[in-house]
Amino acid sequence: MIIDYKDVNDLNRYKIMSDTVVPRPIAWIVTEDEGVVNAAPFSYFIPISSNPATLIVAIGQKEEGVPKDSLANILKHKKATICFVNKDNVDKVKLSANMLDKEQSEITEYEIEVEKTLEEFPPMISSTQTALFCELYDVVKIPGKTTPLILEIKKQYIEDDRINEKFHVNVENIGRSGIFFKAMVDI
């Protein structure tokens, strides 16, 4: 079967793409604005370069013309902390997928523990095994309702016992694996 993307609506195109490019990590993107800490789950991101250390994340809209809080906060403050999900916090990430008003914090609403590890970046989720402290590198202009952001990884937290002397990392991140993951975790 050949699928011509021009004949497929946006939602079905997203389903096809997100169920094909797997596995992808699931992580919270933590941002801040005016004292409100936003922690939104994402799986639509991927590394693109190690020099500079960058990844790309595609963020959509809440509704027509209204950017998701994560997008608005990154564009305004140029900072984000990406905290990877593991078996110990998967229930909290499912809760944080619920849409809240901009003035509401998933951290407060769902009692997600965070810690301010680096003063110049949003806090990280305390139960994460690894987190990326990122700055906005560039915005990719494409038509449509999604805004791809290139984020530069400035620093990374890794639990001490999860990296060896050869820089091999052993974390237990949860990944999205298409329909199988949706059935298990329902994100």
Share of the chain above pLDDT 70, in %: 91
- In this model, does residue 179 exceed pLDDT 60? no
Domain 5-185 superfamily per CATH: Electron Transport, Fmn-binding Protein; Chain A (2.30.110.10)
Residue 96: CB atoms within 10 Å: 23
In the prediction, which pLDDT does 168 show? Answer: 86
Residue 149: CB atoms within 10 Å: 22
- In this model, does residue 60 exceed pLDDT 50? yes
In the prediction, which pLDDT does 165 show? Answer: 85
Q: Please give the single-letter amino acid code of residue 181.
A: F
Domain spans, the chain: 5-185
Q: Which two tokens stand for residue 107?
A: 């951290």
Start-to-end Cα distance in the chain = 28
Share of the chain above pLDDT 90, in %: 59
CA distances to 1, 9, 22, 61 from 134, in Å? 40, 32, 23, 21
In the prediction, which pLDDT does 72 show? Answer: 96
Of 110-119, 161-170, 177-186, the poorest mean pLDDT is in 177-186
Question: Per DSSP, which regions of 23-129 are E strands?
Answer: 24-25, 27-33, 36-42, 45-50, 53-59, 61-63, 66-67, 79-84, 114-115, 124-125
- The tens digit of pLDDT for each residue in 7-59 reads 988 888 878 877 666 678 899 999 999 999 999 999 888 899 989 999 999 99
Q: Which two tokens stand for residue 180?
A: 């199988």
- In this model, does residue 156 exceed pLDDT 50? yes
Q: Please give the single-letter amino acid code of residue 98.
A: N
